[in-house]
């Protein structure tokens, strides 16, 4: 259900990192690691499963929106996620 803006203590701009601001050019990241980085967390930080699900809700559209600036690599095994990194020349 929508809520009036005045019910919130503060409103913030909906800014997201550009890929080159978030990712190191010589590294590849899983979508789980990207989700943590988007929240200024360490990529290896342990999270509750529910929290990780919420962060993925932000990370997956970010990856899709920035796909032209990213490369993707196959996962090491079928049980692991793929990896994303900055597209470099």
Instruction: Enter the tokens of residue 84.
Output: 């994303």
Q: How many CB atoms lie within 10 A of CB 29?
A: 23
Q: Please classify residue 40 by burial: count the beta carbons closer than 10 Å to its beta carbon, then call 0-12 exposed, 13-18 middle and 19+ buried.
A: exposed
Phi, psi dihedral angles at 21 (to 5 degrees): -85, -25
Q: Note down pLDDT in tens along the chain; length 89 residues.
A: 999 999 999 998 888 899 999 999 999 999 999 999 999 999 999 999 899 999 999 899 999 999 999 999 999 999 999 999 999 97
In this prediction, residue 62 carries a pLDDT of: 96
In this prediction, residue 51 carries a pLDDT of: 94
As a whole number of Å, the end-to-end CA separation of the chain is 47
In this prediction, residue 14 carries a pLDDT of: 82
In this prediction, residue 46 carries a pLDDT of: 93
């Amino acid at each position: 259900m929508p809520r009036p803006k005045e019910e919130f203590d503060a409103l913030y701009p909906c800014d997201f990192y550009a890929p080159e601001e978030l990712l190191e050019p010589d590294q590849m990241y899983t979508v789980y690691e990207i989700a943590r980085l988007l929240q200024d967390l360490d990529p290896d930080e342990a999270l509750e499963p529910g929290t990780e699900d919420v962060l993925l809700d932000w990370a997956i559209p970010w990856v899709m929106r920035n796909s032209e600036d990213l490369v993707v690599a196959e996962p090491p095994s079928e049980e692991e996620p793929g990896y994303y990194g900055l597209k470099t020349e």
